[in-house]
Amino acid sequence: MTYICQMYERKLPVRLECGLHLFMEIMSGKWKINLIWCIHQGINRPGELHRTLPNASRRLLDDQLAQLVAHGMLVKKVFDVKPFKVEYALTPLGQTLIPVIENTARWGESYRSELEEKIQKNPSFRGERS
C-alpha cells in the first residue's frame, strides 16, 4: 500500500484569474525572493545559499528551491561527480523577476524610516503577539 503524505493541504482553490494572483502563487514563501536574488548574484550551490540565509532551515530552502524549479523560475543541474554536486541557475523566465525585485527593494529603501517606525511600534507586523 502506498501512502502519499503532504504537510499542507490547500483549503482554498488556487486563484489564477489575474496576474497578481499568479505572481503571489509563484512567489509565496518567505525565502523565494532571497533565493532568486542570491542565485542572480552567483550564489548557486545549496550549501552556499544556506550559509547566505542562515535564518532559514536547510529543509525549507530545499523545498522552496524545488518549488521554484517546478514553476520554471530555476533550473537544477546535478553533476555526475563524487561528492555529490548540485547548482541552481535562473531560467530566462526567472531572470524577468530581477527588475521586479530591484524595484521592490528601491520602494523599501524609499520608505525605510516610515516603515521601520511602524513596524517597531506594532509588534504584530513582525508576527509577534502583543
pLDDT tens for each residue of 68-97:
999 999 999 999 998 889 999 999 999 999
pLDDT tens digits along 31-42: 999 999 999 999
65: its cell numbers = 528551491
Rg over CA atoms, the chain: 17
Decide: 47 and 61 in contact? Cβ < 8 Å.
no
Share of the chain residues as helix, strand and coil, in percent rounded to the nearest 5:
55, 10, 35
**Whole-number pLDDT of residue 3:** 46
pTM of the model: 0.80
**Whole-number pLDDT of residue 6:** 52
Decide: 94 and 73 in contact? Cβ < 8 Å.
yes
β-strand partners of 87: 77
- CA-nearest of 11, 14, 10, 23 to 97 is 23
| Average model confidence (pLDDT) across the chain | 87
The span from the CA of 1 to the CA of 47, in Å, is 36
